Structure 1
Amino acid sequence: MNTKRNSKLEIKQRSEESTQGLKLRRRKTQKTQEEKVKTLAFLAASVLGLCRSVAGLGDNIIPENYTNHFLPRPADGQPVQVGVGWHIVRLHEINVDDMTIMMTVRVNVAWEEDRLQYSGDLHRGHHSRLLPLDLSLLDRLWAPDLFFMDARDMATMAMMDEVAGLWLTANLTLMYSFMVRVTLDCQMHFHSYPFDHQTCKMMITSYEYSTGDLQLRWLGPGVTVNHRLHKHMPGYELTIATGNISSQAWCREKDCPIAPSSAAMGYLELHRRFSAHLLTLYIPSALLVGLSWASFFWPPEPVPGRTVLVVTSLLTLVSSYAAARQSSPKTDYVKAVDVWFFVCICLNIVTVFQYAAIILLRRRQKHVQQMVVQPARSGVKESKSHLERLKERERQVEIWARVILPVLFLIFNLVYWSYYLRHRKGVDEEEEEE
């Protein structure tokens, strides 16, 4: 009996302890939730206050005597330092006929505006580095008049609003970033097509201000590119290079009335991938040339078969060259692919003339044989010797054709591939002017 009573007391005591523990946990959970609610309310109030402060910041930081037509002159009288940089987001089209490149670029521009009235008290929390401003303030502030020098067309991007942003740093530096679709002119040279290497220039400069008023500098790495862009360019390999800060002269005269402007230069290097051209142009055309040479090992008696083989190879080469001309860039000068097909067609034509020479020698042999079988006629010995000379000449033509033409084609390949693979830029330096 005592054992049963003790067990009941222990069970009752454990249940009371578990009940008290559950109440304590509920109180702690309720207290934690109340603290979270207070924290969120504090953060919401802080963000709302910061937003209200930022919303009214534009009217407070611009002085009454501020003029956006004059650039902010530093105290030391030096030119205004404007930082630039751009990131190539997407390369949409490379038009070799118009010699243009269409791309989407994110441009970043930064300059110091010490005329603003701002103490930096709003730079806290998430906005400790960059404080967002309303884009409408840009119409009331001075901004550098930068543009892409060789742009044929430019269009800013917008969806629900313009894809752009304006920020302010604690040291009164304005940062403006925007997305733009640019169609850029690019002077292309196709002397080495399809082994060509194109270099396209992207230059940002100022139209109004000279180097004495405005000086450009690079922001960070300068020119960058989307690392996934190479997957969307099956025909080219893209390389980006950041150039130096130079000057853009607007005229070449010594007494030019317009002073040169500061310019930031970037380079897009496009290396054409030619592996597809090897499989579709070069290897098939080389095989057609070799196929025509198979006629050298056939007896000359079956004239139709040997003629059809040589002529068919020649016509196929000509049609392949016509198709290659349709897909290659339209130029008025000779390209590498033109040189290749010209030599291949010439070798096939030589094969046709070689077989024509064999047929001519055979006809002369028949004529001489008719003279030999006529015993009444004089000069039979001379006819026999002449017949032997014709047969020997026929053998020499066949042997020389089997040896000389492949050797010439081999030498041509060595010169062709060594030259164009070393000179892949395809730039006529005599015509190119910086």
Structure 2
Amino acid sequence: MDQHSYQIPTNYNRNIPPGKNTTVYIGVNVNRVSGVDENKEEITLDVFLQVSWAENRLHMPSGMPFIDLPWEFRQLIWTPDLYIWQLQTMRIMSVLQEMASLRLYSNGTVSVSIGATITIKCEMDFVLYPLDVQNCAIDFGSYKYTSEDVRFEWREVAPWLGLGLLGVQRREFRLPKYVVTFATDKSEHSAARLQIKLSRELRSYLLESYLPSSLFVIISWGSFCVIPEIVPGRMVLLVTTLLSLVTMFDTVSTNSPDALELKCIEVWLISCTMFVFIALLEYFVVLFGIRYDKSWSRRRQDLRRAASAAQLAPPPLHVNHSQRLGTPVTGTPQGGVFSPTLSVEDEGLKQQFEHQTIQRLSQSGKRNWRQNKVGCETRSQTVSKVK
């Protein structure tokens, strides 16, 4: 039978499903993951989609396993109002003609196969970036019929493998930055669900961010081995590592996707920056301590000198000026020179002056005696060694 000579029964109504609780089988084969847009939270896939259901109102002559119908024939029969909830855009692929087919099997099964490029919206959370794992779902359902009228289920085996598309269905794709895994969800849902799991390749992040930042922190700790007095060398080492970490943080924040909170890699870089800043702050404390110690040593030396000078200085004389003013001064001229003599009232002042003079002489004599004793002992030891 020619595909153009197939006739639809006259009592066929395309607006009514084939029966109560019609089961629609969904099969998806992901051919390629074209891209992942983190800013728009979108995933672009090249897929082969097959939708099949039982249509008992359509019959074929015996002896023919199936017949391929024109693609426009789908407008003459009932087709499920398939709706992909997370779908953003969909474009049917084409080479010489569109990659879409409509096939009717001898058992009354209608199969629609489409090769398309679809863009899926996926809600992503980047708080754990780059250690995050994104789980996205693609739900195939109906926007008009309830689950009592039409049910959507997954097929265990991809139906297009029997159409000459030989090969093994891929479940995992490795991209430069992602590992994309697909799995069908067999739990109870109102729609057929395909789970997509996005996990990142951590090798590039380890080499580009985590390893350099760790080395910067270790280098900053190496500044503790530099002598504190070498200010330029230690300051250049700490300031350079600090600025490098700040620049790395700015680059990572600019190139990474946005998140409502600080991302994991940002927390790591902030921690590394704080470690280097603490090392720099510790050096400031050390410099302040060195300067304070030098100032305090200089002050102690000045205090010791002042104390030594105070001990060597003669004590002041306590003179009663009122008595001096009232004491008459007498004297006799000797050789044309007047020689004053103290009266009896100045005898106490004279004795005080003589007593202080004797004390100074005794202290000076004791120091000279000690110095002479030390010199004699030194000379005697030298003579003993010579003998």
Report if TM-score (shorter chain) is over 0.5.
Answer: yes
2:6 equivalent to 1:55: no
C-alpha offsets along residues 135-164 of structure 1, whole Å, 9 cap, x if unaligned? 221111111010211111122222322211
2:175 equivalent to 1:227: no
Distance 1:109 1:325 in 2: 44
Q: Which residue of 2 aligns with 1:309?
A: 237
Larger helix percent: 1
Residue 269 of structure 2 aligns to a residue whose secondary structure is helix
Q: Which residue of 2 aligns with 1:243?
A: 185
2:18 equivalent to 1:85: no
Shift of 1:222: 6.4
Greater Rg, structure 1 or structure 2? 2
Question: For the structure 1 residues 378 and 281, does the alpha-carbon distance in structure 2 shift closer, same or farther, using more than 3 Å as the test?
Answer: farther
2:216 equivalent to 1:288: yes
C-alpha offsets along residues 60-119 of structure 1, whole Å, 9 cap, x if unaligned? xx111212111112xxxx411111111111111101111110111111111111111323
Question: For the structure 1 residues 89 and 144, does the alpha-carbon distance in structure 2 shift closer, same or farther, using more than 3 Å as the test?
Answer: same
| Pairing 1:170-189 to 2, within 5 Å after superposition | 170-189=106-125
Q: Which residue of 2 aligns with 1:95?
A: 37
2:131 to 163, 175, 195: 195
Question: For the structure 1 residues 289 and 304, does the alpha-carbon distance in structure 2 shift closer, same or farther, using more than 3 Å as the test?
Answer: same
Asked whether the 8 Å contact 1:223–1:242 carries over to 2, the reply is no
- For 1:137, the aligned partner's letter is F
Asked whether the 8 Å contact 1:285–1:317 carries over to 2, the reply is yes
Question: For the structure 1 residues 223 and 160, does the alpha-carbon distance in structure 2 shift closer, same or farther, using more than 3 Å as the test?
Answer: closer
Asked whether the 8 Å contact 2:138–2:193 carries over to 1, the reply is yes
Q: Which moved more, 1:103-112 or 1:219-228?
A: 219-228
Shift of 1:326: 1.6
Shift of 1:271: 0.9
| Pairing 1:1-400 to 2, within 5 Å after superposition | 53-59=1-7, 62-73=8-19, 78-123=20-65, 130-221=66-157, 227=170, 230-231=173-174, 233-244=175-186, 246-247=188-189, 262-374=190-302, 375-378=304-307
C-alpha offsets along residues 288-326 of structure 1, whole Å, 9 cap, x if unaligned? 111111111111111111111111110011001111112
Distance 1:174 1:243 in 2: 24
- For 2:238, the aligned partner's letter is V
Asked whether the 8 Å contact 2:28–2:48 carries over to 1, the reply is yes
Residue 211 of structure 1 aligns to a residue whose secondary structure is coil
Gap runs ≥5 in structure 1: 1-52, 124-129, 248-261, 380-434
Question: For the structure 1 residues 334 and 153, does the alpha-carbon distance in structure 2 shift closer, same or farther, using more than 3 Å as the test?
Answer: same
- For 1:230, the aligned partner's letter is F
- For 2:223, the aligned partner's letter is S
- For 1:336, the aligned partner's letter is C
Distance 2:248 2:179 in 1: 26
Shift of 1:373: 2.9
Residue 89 of structure 1 aligns to a residue whose secondary structure is strand
Asked whether the 8 Å contact 1:239–1:270 carries over to 2, the reply is yes
Distance 1:223 1:323 in 2: 47
Distance 1:111 1:218 in 2: 12
Distance 2:158 2:121 in 1: 21
Distance 2:290 2:299 in 1: 15
- For 2:148, the aligned partner's letter is G
Question: For the structure 1 residues 366 and 131, does the alpha-carbon distance in structure 2 shift closer, same or farther, using more than 3 Å as the test?
Answer: same
Shift of 1:245: 5.7
- For 1:155, the aligned partner's letter is R
Identity %: 30
- For 2:289, the aligned partner's letter is L
C-alpha offsets along residues 179-220 of structure 1, whole Å, 9 cap, x if unaligned? 121111101111111111010101100111111111122222
Question: RMSD of aligned C-alpha atoms?
Answer: 2.2
Distance 2:80 2:138 in 1: 18
